[in-house]
Structure 1
Amino acid sequence: MQIIDAHRPSQRPRKLCAALTNALTVTGGLVSLASLMVLVVTAPLAHAEAPRFAFAVIASTMQSPADEAPTQRLIDAIGRDRDVSFVVYDGNLKGAKEACRDALYERRHALLETSRPALFFIPGQHDWADCGTAEAGGFDPVERLDQLRQTLFIDSTSMGQNPIALTRESEVSRFRPFRENVRWQVGDTVFVGLNAPSPNNHYLTAGGRNGEFEDRVIANAFWLEHAGEYAKRRDARAIVVFIQGDPDPERYERPDRFAWLRFARNTRRDGFLEFKRSLVKLAQIFRGPVLVIHCDDERASAGFVIDQPLRNDKGMLVTNLTRVELAPHDRLNQWIQIEADLGKKPPFRVSVRDVPRQMPMPTAAPVPQREEPAASMPAVPALGPASELPPLLQTPGQQQPDQQQHRPTDDGNGEYGPAMSGPPASTVLPHAPGAPSGAPGTPASSVQRGP
């Protein structure tokens, strides 16, 4: 078990001195010893005792339909741990070779909803960015992202059987489409989820305006800065940021005044450059510990990697920002569990948990419940018994019980001819089952065929 050593110094002495100074100012310095003792005891503390909690992180567990049952067992195993407050599924709800169809999203969504703790889903590479490949069905990635926004990111709460309230960036009118960017709070910790997938944050090298990327980069930068200000107003003690893609923080292109003099330059555009600059700004706005969690394409020896690789524009290490890379050896039988105890000097503890071997495999995958669409046509009225219905064809010399007299027609000289009891000659009566073709009631214009 490794420990993240990121601690924010306590603010109690500063606030206590301020309270004593205000008291002396108001009373003109005449304060008794007993009054001072009362002030010391009742002075507001910087933070109440922070609650202890834990959360689990899983990712990329469903690469094919065969992985659905093991993923269900993994989620059930996490739900047995009563210390886990919520689960984060950090991207890739489907595999790279699975078609990005609505039915697949619905089935995987229903599986995530079975989680006993609250579950937060972060969109990843295979969920929408790779949908344009032939193996994924050749869909438009932007259209698939919009579909996810309208189905998986519509509620004001998380997924799971015990959902947690959250705030979406779409509540800001300027960023109405970005429903996948979320924020929630547990105790004194603020959590942020962003849409920043691999590879290279979906930066396209084709000509023209990279509209989807540029708009999303602006939205992500705003949401990170807003989270820092929100944490300061709420007097939070830590911020945790989730993304799916690897931002490669070791490669931070700081602004260079004489960059134009260099001839041998790396032509590959860093799609995470703006995101890393936003992280540096977040660490400056919020002085408490900032934790960035994302997936790792390579397997780590311990199942995860913890480091502090990000530097600011001056080349100095950002000491209050820590990165955790997730790389469990067996994604279907292991999850990363992070325990938060902000009352201790190392506030976060990271460990790998295993699914119990004796835990049975689910027999059936959950089926999404669909509402039946409303009928577009009125229901057909029920008919009585066949013996009570009139015959389809009229028998000569027999009057129908429900026959109605038609209005007589004008013969042209103001007089009306005899009433007609049958339909006009141009109307074709339905053919009775089993009746011969030459049965009475067949119109004269019909063609009579011999045997």
Structure 2
Amino acid sequence: MITRFHYLLALCLFFYACAPTTDDTFDFMVIGDVPYHLPEDFPRFENMIQAINAHKPAFTIHVGDIKSGSTPCSDEYYERIQAYFGQFEQPLVYTPGDNEWTDCHRPACGAYDPEERLDKLRQLFFSQAQSQGKNPLYLHTQNSYEGFEKFVENALWEANNVSFATIHVVGSNNNLKLDSLALNDEFYEREMASLFWLNRVFDAAIEKNHQGIVIALHAGLNYRSQESSNGHLSFVKLLNERVAAFDKPILLLYGDFHKFAVDKPLVDEKRKVRTNFTQVQTFGDRDMHAVRIRVNPQNPTLFEVYQHFIPGN
């Protein structure tokens, strides 16, 4: 016999089951500086892709260096990596590293013109405003702003009230050449774009009242040197200013030096650490593993960092 109590109970259970979840926790992966050693790293990279697919993260970020600094920067190689990126079940967001363009002038890399290789990367990996992967993610890209039409690689997206961005800042001193005869036109143009995009990232997070920001780039930033020879000087200065004013958790993801590390490099005028800023360096080179980031709004720091070892690698 169905009583009024049973009816009300069933109705409550129905609405509870249909109610949207309030759990905004999700995982994403970070990788970089892979694959490096060829051809032996190709099977290990395939193993990494399969392991990440099995975990089913919301997306994966590759922070650059899709090759070592002593292997050819050929079209064929770039196309092979793009095909690998296409094997990720979920979106794969990529930002360039130095090895795939700034270092391509080296004889071991094929003695290419670095800026020509950068053009090739832009054409191949960033021809559309979306990520790589089988199920690409729409990205808001910098080339939609007047004066920055060539910077297709700088992207902005959001997930569960958090801003995410890639900014093209690389190692090798950010391609700032110290030769007195060097013009450095490429560096100054890209630096202007990077500073514009860094401001846009923070402005967008403030406009939308996002609870945190994640920035992905390749370079292990030089936070110490105040000399004009530091190719990261202007970027670090602006980053420090925007972090100081934001007062919410900010996570910077990078590669470059191939060693997993978590630290807080930014300090205020009194040399006290800026507690809302954390940077994480992912594994790379011989250590073909990932970093898993859990975005957890219940945690005051918002971002939980886990080492994600790939079995067999």
TM-score normalised per structure 2: 0.87
Aligned residues between the structures: 291
- Corresponding position of 2:194: 220
Q: Which residue of 208, 217, 225 maps to 1:243?
A: 217
Give, as a single letter, the amino acid of the residue that structure 2 aligns with 1:233. E
Q: Distance in 2 between matches of 1:136 and 1:142?
A: 14
- Corresponding position of 1:139: 112
Segment drifting more, 49-58 vs 164-173: 49-58
2:159 maps to 1:203: no
2:279 maps to 1:323: yes
Shift of 1:327: 3.5
Shift of 1:297: 1.6
Q: Which residue of 224, 227, 237 maps to 1:277?
A: 237
Q: Distance in 2 between matches of 1:118 and 1:141?
A: 28
Q: Alpha-carbon deviations, 1:236-277, whole Å to 9, x = none?
A: 01001111111032x052xxxxxxxxxxxx7x7111101101
Q: Which residue of 80, 92, 96 maps to 2:69?
A: 96
Question: What's the Cα RMSD here?
Answer: 2.0
Give, as a single letter, the amino acid of the residue that structure 2 aligns with 1:62. P
Q: Which residue of 287, 291, 295 maps to 1:340?
A: 295
- Corresponding position of 1:407: none
- Corresponding position of 1:307: 263
Q: Distance in 2 between matches of 1:169 and 1:285?
A: 23
Runs of 4+ in structure 1 off by over 3 angstroms are 312-317, 327-330
CA contact (8 A) 1:50 1:187 kept: no
Q: Distance in 1 between matches of 2:285 and 2:149?
A: 38
- Corresponding position of 1:439: none
2:304 maps to 1:353: no
SS of the aligned residue for 1:173 comes to coil
The 1:108/1:284 distance shift into structure 2, 3 A limit, reads: same
- Corresponding position of 1:65: 39
Structure 1 stretches of 5 or more lacking a match? 1-47, 254-265, 360-451
Structure 2 stretches of 5 or more lacking a match? 1-20
Q: Distance in 2 between matches of 1:290 and 1:49?
A: 22
2:7 maps to 1:51: no
Give, as a single letter, the amino acid of the residue that structure 2 aligns with 1:325. Q
- Corresponding position of 1:417: none
SS of the aligned residue for 1:159 comes to coil
Give, as a single letter, the amino acid of the residue that structure 1 aligns with 2:183. R
Q: Distance in 1 between matches of 2:34 and 2:121?
A: 18
Shift of 1:328: 5.8
Q: Which residue of 172, 190, 193 maps to 2:166?
A: 193
Higher RCO, Cα 8 Å, sep 6+: 2
Structure showing greater radius of gyration is 1
The 1:291/1:104 distance shift into structure 2, 3 A limit, reads: same
- Corresponding position of 1:294: 254
Q: Distance in 1 between matches of 2:239 and 2:171?
A: 18
Q: Distance in 2 between matches of 1:60 and 1:309?
A: 22
Shift of 1:330: 5.0
Segment drifting more, 320-329 vs 68-77: 320-329
CA contact (8 A) 1:100 1:137 kept: yes
Q: Which residue of 157, 161, 172 maps to 2:134?
A: 161
Q: Distance in 2 between matches of 1:177 and 1:81?
A: 35
SS of the aligned residue for 2:281 comes to strand
Shift of 1:65: 2.8
SS of the aligned residue for 1:174 comes to coil
Give, as a single letter, the amino acid of the residue that structure 1 aligns with 2:253. I
Q: Which residue of 126, 136, 143 maps to 2:99?
A: 126
Shift of 1:298: 5.7
SS of the aligned residue for 1:324 comes to strand
CA contact (8 A) 1:158 1:166 kept: yes
CA contact (8 A) 2:251 2:277 kept: yes
Q: Distance in 2 between matches of 1:305 and 1:355?
A: 17
CA contact (8 A) 1:290 1:322 kept: yes
CA contact (8 A) 1:252 1:310 kept: no
Give, as a single letter, the amino acid of the residue that structure 2 aligns with 1:341. N
Q: Distance in 1 between matches of 2:246 and 2:22?
A: 21
Q: Alpha-carbon deviations, 1:46-69, whole Å to 9, x = none?
A: xx9461111111112212233122
The 1:187/1:318 distance shift into structure 2, 3 A limit, reads: same
Q: Distance in 1 between matches of 2:51 and 2:309?
A: 9
SS of the aligned residue for 1:180 comes to coil
CA contact (8 A) 2:255 2:284 kept: no
Q: Which residue of 112, 121, 127 maps to 1:148?
A: 121
Segment drifting more, 232-241 vs 314-323: 314-323
